[in-house]
Amino acid sequence: MSAVGVPVGRGAHVRIERRTLVASLLLVATAAAAGFTGLCLGDGWSSPRDVAAALAGGGPIDFVVTRWRLPRVVGGLAFGAALGLAGAVFQNLTRNPLGSPDVIGLDAGAYTGTLLVLTVGTGTATGVAAGSVAAGLATAALIYVLSLRSGFSGLRLVVVGIGVNAVLTGVNSWIVLRADLDVAIAATAWSAGSLNGLGWEDLGLPLTVVGALAVLLALASHPMHQLALGDEVARTSGVALAGLRLLLVVVGVGLTATVTAVAGPIVFIALVAPQVGRRLVRATGVPLLPAALVGATLLTGSDVVAQALLAPVVLPVGVVTTAVGGAYLMWLLAREVKR
């Protein structure tokens, strides 16, 4: 497959496969179109001309677009990309298309941490974020330790993760049932995964964390893909397996938990996006950039559907992603059975 050189600095170029470049540009255009459509939605439909004027700093709906709608769209794009990257990390680690944070229990673990902070702790934004990340890491450590018998196995990790996910789902339901009524109502609504009510004040820290983790993941992408080819191949390439796996787990959990702390457990984006991206570029492994772009497109597009489907009632975006992901999961399982 032919490759092209993309300039990244003074005399420096990065070689990218032509198909990957074309698919990435198309995904960027699709995500931008979904985001612009989201900016036109609200209590009613705003004309694209008025939205463009608002983005340029004027027009009759300047405040509505820039202060209310734009944070939601930016959050959808960033969180979708974060979930796509997290899914790519765990699918490369497990070498399994089911190796996704929401399938193996990491979303449920992060949600457990958030519930504990809401019901026992102070319930501040910082406390919720810290609880989500800490519980997500603890869940990942538990799954990793339980799957280490007779050596690391991606399939064993997925199976153990599914079991841990079931247990944590029951624990989360028990916490909600035991909580005060106001907390239980808020936690149940939040558990669906929603971008409703996002403001700029909610995005500063999450976007910083997601950006830092994405840069770290980009630096580790080459050894990660070596690891996806098998332990023996990675060792001969000089990859430190234990250290790399630990780094990737921390980054993947950090991405998942950051999104969960702000928007709730938005399911199936991390499962679907990496595989769709891989098929678009026809890659042997699970590439990061297509996974991130598909994740951003899927979450932003799903949020547009969630706003328009029963307008003026706005559904949580998790309702739409669950429907899309459920259909994809049935197709994937049917495909695996045929194989």
210-235 residue pLDDT tens: 999 999 999 998 888 888 777 777 77
| Domain limits, the chain | 3-8+16-338
CB atoms within 10 A of CB 63: 10
Q: Residue 150's pLDDT is what?
A: 59
Smallest CA-to-CA distance from 317 within 162, 133, 190 is with 190
pLDDT at 62 over 80: yes
Instruction: Tell me the C-alpha distance between 25 and 119, whole Å.
Output: 44
- ω into 312 cis (within 30 of 0): yes
253-310 residue pLDDT tens: 999 989 988 898 898 899 999 989 998 988 878 899 999 999 999 999 999 999 988 8
Asked if residue 103 lies in contact with residue 161, where contact means CB atoms within 8 angstroms, the answer is: yes
Q: Residue 299's pLDDT is what?
A: 96
- Alpha-carbon torsion angle 266, 269, 270, 275, nearest 10: 170
As given in the structure block, the two tokens for residue 196 are: 């409703």
Asked if residue 75 lies in contact with residue 295, where contact means CB atoms within 8 angstroms, the answer is: no
CATH number for the domain formed by residue range(s) 3-8+16-338: 1.10.3470.10
pTM of the predicted model as reported, rounded to 2 decimal places: 0.89
